[in-house]
Amino acid sequence: MKLCTPVVLAAVLLLGSCQTIQQPLRPGLTRTAVATSYSDLDTPAGDTKELAIHGSWGTFWESDQEIGVKVAYDDLEVSGASTEAWTLALYGRYYLATTEVLLPWVELDLGWTDNDRDSNISWLAGLGITQFVTQGGAIEAGVTYQDAFGDVDTSGIRFLIGYSIFF
């Protein structure tokens, strides 16, 4: 798999230059986010490139645990043929630290993916970091593994970067 160097470089530069305070994570806090991810996979169907835009909304039910809903639009190129996909998923995120400016997290998703070739159930596991740049705004970077159960195999590792608002 090829590494998306510009995305990783941008994440390192942005995260390394942030120095600010955050609002404390607490039950009832809401997080909304927009992110993009990229992958270049070698699947049974051939070389598959994917660029996705994710939107999510979640709420903290404990100071270190968030649950929510995620919607994603994927632009896929499978062996030279283009297709689009939509995903609707439920997610849970656990923050390993809740009082720092830099917050590491792990995440699990379970969702439904639909495209013009197939519809299937998918799951995702990921880890990443959240870096606050304002009291309620943060940049997020992560790596995820997604597996889909269907005719079009788009399972693999994805790199993502996004922006979250906590309120």
Among residues 124, 115, 143, 105, which one has the least CA distance to residue 25? 105
Identify the DSSP state of 161: E
| 38 in Cβ contact with 159 (< 8 Å) | yes
pLDDT score recorded for residue 115: 76
Query: Residues 35-78: pLDDT tens digits?
Result: 998 887 766 666 778 888 999 999 999 989 999 999 999 887 77
Distance, C-alpha 101 to centroid of its chain? 20
Which residues does residue 77 pair with via DSSP β-bridges, in sequence order?
Answer: 49, 82
Report all structural domains of the chain as residue ranges with CATH numbers, in order of start: 5-20+28-166 (2.40.160.20)
Among residues 79, 57, 84, which one has the least CA distance to residue 68? 57
| Token representation of residue 52 | 């996705």
Q: What's the whole-model pTM score?
A: 0.78
Q: What is the dihedral of CA 78, 81, 86, 92, to 10 degrees?
A: 10
pLDDT score recorded for residue 45: 66
Query: Residues 78-97: pLDDT tens digits?
Result: 777 777 888 899 999 999 98
| Token representation of residue 89 | 């998923």
Does the structure show a pLDDT above 80 at 122?
yes
Query: Residues 6-30: pLDDT tens digits?
Result: 554 444 444 444 444 466 789 999 9
